[in-house]
Amino acid sequence: MSEARIDKISNENSTAGPIISGITTFSGQNYFVPPKGTTAERPSYCSPGSIRFNTDSAKLEYFDSLQWLEMEAFNNEVGISTNAAGTSGGLGNRGVFGGGYAPGDVNTIDYVTISTLGNAQDFGDLTVKRRPGCGFASRSRGVFCAGRQIGLIPSNVIDYITISSTGNAVDFGDTYQVQQSGFGFSSETRGVYGAGETTSDVSTNVIQYITIASTGNGVDFGDINTLTANSKGCSSTTRGVFAGGATPGSPVSTYLNIIEYVTISTLGNSIDFGDLTQARLGSGAVSNATRGIFGAGFIPAGRVNTIDFITITSLGNAQDFGDTPQTIFASSGGCSSPTRGIFAGGYTPGGANIINYVSILTTGNAVDFGDLFQSRGYPAGLSNGHGGL
């Protein structure tokens, strides 16, 4: 016998249909279909805890009283990384850092579990010792693209890892064009990378892409609007954003405050988004599905600890977020979960081992997380929980 006790049925409007109070149990053996719609069709206000299916991202999301957030998935194979752990085991989003300069280019890959605190653990090695131009990932596969190899040789190498395991990287293919010091970001299916230099002080405006689940060479995507090298990128599920950098020149480079974006699923040239609060290069970049954060970097006078943030779904200038505890985070690697962003490493004569983190949904200063497995600058960061997934 079925029983229904409904306190009130309202007209179909902004508060929806029937209002059911008390404890409600669904015991059917099939499924429950929640409301659905595109990102643009999200209600601007509803009760905290409201749930819907986003047809753009193909993911469930909930309203936290201020914004819509994706429900975070966890992988049982992803390990914790704490001072007491020492081994891989546990739950959480994994951040991975590949390559860098220690001094001398290295092939080190190390990892952390983003929801914990503690030191990074050894993951394996890249196929080539280098400072990767960028890193990006799907939920299962991480990719390190291009960069600069020993002898300051620009690289066309693309290699990949399986994030939930540990082990050495595997050859993926080659970039469409040799590029160093570029940006990168991704959705679940496509990785996009571009800008930088083909040789020292020679800029390129080329944007390339790969399909992460396959292997093969990069393909032309379009061109950047403003020539820049040493910019950093992050993404939402639909939009990729890159910021800062410098227009290479000899003897003087022009530092930039630009922010530009592309729609990841399409092809075409980048479009102006707004400006950083300060012109700089080499910032770490992290994001969730709605907010992008750019931390620290170089200015002509030296290093800065400035952290900026943007709302990726809109256009406009960056706003102040807070500061990093140190100014050595120029040329750091960034990775993120839906709630936490991590900046790791930094350029010093011997390389830095510092890892700091921020809470993406708030504003404030970065806090100590732990240490890298190997001290270095210019590592490329990626995760299986970033804003593009």
Q: Rounded CA gap, 218 and 207, in Å? A: 10
Q: Which two tokens stand for residue 358?
A: 């921020």
Task: Provide the domain count of the chain.
Answer: 2
Residues 368 and 257 reside in one and the same domain: yes
Strand 59-63 vs strand 68-70: parallel, antiparallel, or unpaired?
A: antiparallel
Residues 32 and 142 reside in one and the same domain: no
Give the C-alpha distances (Å, rounded to integers) separating 122 from 110, 159, 168: 4, 17, 10
Residues 207 and 62 reside in one and the same domain: no
pLDDT, position 82 = 40
- Angle (CA) 338-343-346 rounded to 5° is 165
Q: Rounded CA gap, 288 and 282, in Å? A: 20
Residues 119 and 62 reside in one and the same domain: no
Residues 125 and 251 reside in one and the same domain: yes
Q: Which two tokens stand for residue 103?
A: 């001094």
Residue range 93-98: mean pLDDT, rounded: 97
Residues 113 and 64 reside in one and the same domain: no
Q: Identify whether 302 is part of a domain.
A: yes
Calculate the average pLDDT of the chain: 86
Q: Which two tokens stand for residue 360?
A: 């993406």
> pLDDT tens digit string along 205-229?
999 999 999 999 999 999 999 999 8
Residue range 347-366: mean pLDDT, rounded: 91
Whether 152 has a pLDDT exceeding 80, the answer reads: no
pLDDT, position 368 = 95
Residue range 94-101: mean pLDDT, rounded: 96
Q: What range defines the domain where residue 36 resides?
A: 8-70
Name the one residue in this structure whose structure tokens are 């050894």. Answer: 122
Whether 79 has a pLDDT exceeding 60, the answer reads: no
Give the C-alpha distances (Å, rounded to integers) separating 155 from 127, 136, 331: 12, 17, 18
Give the C-alpha distances (Å, rounded to integers) separating 331 from 8, 31, 40, 213, 324: 58, 48, 35, 28, 13
Comparing 13-17, 141-145, 262-266, 342-346, which segment has the lowest mean pLDDT?
Answer: 13-17
Q: Identify whether 244 is part of a domain.
A: yes
Residues 129 and 257 reside in one and the same domain: yes
Q: Identify whether 327 is part of a domain.
A: yes
**Among residues 239, 242, 228, 249, which one has the least CA distance to residue 181?**
228
Residues 102 and 44 reside in one and the same domain: no
Q: One-letter amino acid identity for 4?
A: A
Q: Identify whether 1 is part of a domain.
A: no
Higher pLDDT, 44 or 70: 44
User: pTM for this structure?
Assistant: 0.78
Residue range 109-116: mean pLDDT, rounded: 95
Helix then strand then coil, in percent of the chain rounded to 5, is 0, 45, 55
